[in-house]
Amino acid sequence: MAAYTVHTAVRCSIKLLIKDTLLTSRKLCYLSDTCTGKGYTSWRTCSSNSASSCSSGSPAAANSEAIGHYDRLVQGGSLRKDAQQRDVLQILAQLQHTLNNYSNSVYYSQLPEDKQPCITTAENKSDQSAVKEEPTPPAPPPPKGFYIYGDVGTGKTMLMDMFFSRVENTRKKRVHFNGFMLDIHKRIHRRKQSLPKRSLGKMFTYDPISPVAMEISDETCLLCFDEFQVTDIADAMILRQLFETLFKTGVVVVATSNRPPDDLYKNGLQRDTFLPFIDVLKEYCHTIRIDSGIDYRRLDKAAAGKLHYLTEEPGAGEFLDTLFEELTIREKSVAGPRSLTVLGRDVTLEKTCGSIADCTFDELCARPLGASDYLEMARLFDTVFIRHVPMLTLTLKDQARRFTTLIDIFYDNKVRVVLLAAAPIDQLFLHTGGDDERDRQLLDDLGLNGEAAERLTLFTAEEEIFAFQRTVSRLTEMQTEAYWMEGDRSHSKKHMNT
């Protein structure tokens, strides 16, 4: 009888979860200004379909089109009217018009010679000496970007994506900040690997950061970052030099963050060496704060059945088993383990079927995995079950960091998540525990006393607490019907499960 009850409940949820998934592209948004659902989950589908039809001949026209589109979404019930969002969109529309025909190539030649990325050979030098070119006049300063920060769920990502979708310049890139820094580290490693072997007794120094920045500048003139945050000391040491070169070569940056610029890498190790980056960021980006006090992701929206279960609920595990079986009916493979190759190493998931993975929290967050692993999972799977999520106390700081990174990446790539957890979403993280043996050992290794440790987020878990507010907000939106339908790749040409 219990099994029958679970099976019946699953079928009720399935009607919501997998009903006519063509709604994502056909019914959910049949015109750019008439979307079903509330909030900006439904907006994303509308914007992607309408962006190609946008054309701005002047700043006033760009402004009018952007605001007109926003107002139609409000009138259609897809968004709630928010004066701050509307004002920010007006400002971004002016930058959008500037960037439509913008090129940053003029700024390359203005870098000092010691900042040039290429090593000039003797032959090249002789060629250069034979041709003397007239000095070019200095170019005007490049357009300033924007750093948009505020509380979780206030619409920062939505506004940036609205702006990005309407910029007609093809040399643009939108990426989650974790993914961007992962790419930077890969490029740095690749350049170091390509260096000639050093001869015995001959030493030379090579700094790959500026050349990597020049590579990116050559590829794009607009970079949009979601969730700009700095928690890693290796990233902190790279950022100043990297972005100085990006900005000087005319790359325009638009970023979102939960933190104001002055709080980036707050209380981090060796933060004094990071502070100059904040000055560079402020010089090349206007700072905008959105503080409406409303988390739009947590407003009432149509739920996609039940996607979050408590471990103590009778039959919860069996419910997930049946849900997995129902969802895999459409898959053309059998359930079993799957190994993912990430940066030359194998990461094995014990239970997968086509585009669906059924994992435990320990599989995903107790192992030493990172953004690169989660990005590969997001590429391969559109639905991930996460079972046995524990209460995340400060003793589990490493697992909490990985969980927030995992959800950030899954959210950014529209991966659908089904949870089996020890507590409701907004009660998963507890500001208790900590001071474990590893922390005490690390304090001794660093030569720090307890007072110094209190100021470091490495030991206080302040960054985890701050980031988990975003995780709770995003997990809440990921439970909605609109998000679930948008994440279904079975009818999408972009399905990358190859």
Q: What's 273's domain CATH number?
A: 3.40.50.300
Alpha helices in 167-315 (DSSP H): 177-193, 209-219, 233-248, 275-284
Is residue 482 in a domain? yes
pTM of model > 0.85: no
Largest separation between any pair of C-alpha atoms in the chain: 90
Q: Are residues 149 and 252 in the same domain?
A: yes
Query: Which residues fall within 8 angstroms of residue 193, CB to CB, at 6 or more apart?
Result: none
Euclidean distance between CA atoms 163 and 140, whole angstroms: 24
Euclidean distance between CA atoms 470 and 322, whole angstroms: 30
For the chain, the residue count is 498
Q: Are residues 430 and 469 in the same domain?
A: yes
Q: Are residues 362 and 480 in the same domain?
A: yes
Return the closest-CA partner of residue 350 out of 338, 333, 342, 364: 338
Query: Quick check: 255 and 285 in contact, CB under 8 A?
Result: yes
Handedness of CA 175, 180, 183, 188 (dihedral sign): positive
Which residue among 238, 257, 290 closes a domain? 290
Domain that holds residue 450: 301-486
Tokens of 407: 């959800």
Q: Are residues 286 and 307 in the same domain?
A: no
Q: pLDDT tens across 265-302, in order? A: 887 888 888 999 999 999 999 999 998 777 777 665 55
Please tell me the predicted confidence (pLDDT) of residue 28: 28
Is residue 61 in a domain? no
Is residue 212 in a domain? yes
Which residue among 243, 265, 290 closes a domain? 290
Return the closest-CA partner of residue 468 out of 431, 416, 421: 431
Q: Return the residue matching tokens 């930077």.
A: 184
Please tell me the predicted confidence (pLDDT) of residue 162: 93
Return the closest-CA partner of residue 458 out of 214, 124, 230: 230
Is residue 164 in a domain? yes
Query: How do the pLDDT tens digits run along the chain, 498 residues long?
Result: 444 444 444 445 444 454 433 333 322 232 223 333 444 444 443 444 444 444 446 778 878 888 888 899 889 888 888 999 999 999 999 999 999 999 998 887 666 555 554 433 333 434 444 455 566 677 788 999 999 999 888 889 999 999 999 999 999 999 988 889 989 988 998 888 887 766 555 555 678 899 999 999 999 999 999 888 887 788 888 998 999 999 999 999 999 998 899 999 887 888 888 999 999 999 999 999 998 777 777 665 555 567 787 888 888 999 999 999 999 988 888 999 999 999 889 999 999 999 999 999 999 999 999 989 999 999 999 999 999 999 988 778 889 889 999 999 999 899 999 999 999 888 888 766 555 555 555 445 545 555 544 544 444 456 666 778 888 888 988 888 888 888 888 755 444 444
Q: Return the residue matching tokens 């979050």.
A: 308
What's the structural domain count of the chain?
Answer: 2
Euclidean distance between CA atoms 277 and 237, whole angstroms: 9
Euclidean distance between CA atoms 58 and 70, whole angstroms: 18
Q: Which residues pair with 175 in a beta bridge?
A: 225
Q: Are residues 223 and 277 in the same domain?
A: yes
Q: Are residues 394 and 316 in the same domain?
A: yes
Q: Are residues 314 and 463 in the same domain?
A: yes
Euclidean distance between CA atoms 447 and 459, whole angstroms: 14
Query: Quick check: 373 and 364 in contact, CB under 8 A?
Result: no
Query: Quick check: 464 and 275 in contact, CB under 8 A?
Result: no
Q: Are residues 219 and 320 in the same domain?
A: no
Euclidean distance between CA atoms 131 and 141, whole angstroms: 28
Angle at which helices 83-99 and 59-75 pack, to 10 degrees? Answer: 140
Which residue among 239, 271, 290 closes a domain? 290
Return the closest-CA partner of residue 47 out of 152, 158, 168: 158
- Strands 308-310 and 416-421, by their bridges, are parallel
Please tell me the predicted confidence (pLDDT) of residue 234: 83
Q: What's 367's domain CATH number?
A: 3.40.50
Euclidean distance between CA atoms 417 and 106, whole angstroms: 45
Please tell me the predicted confidence (pLDDT) of residue 480: 85
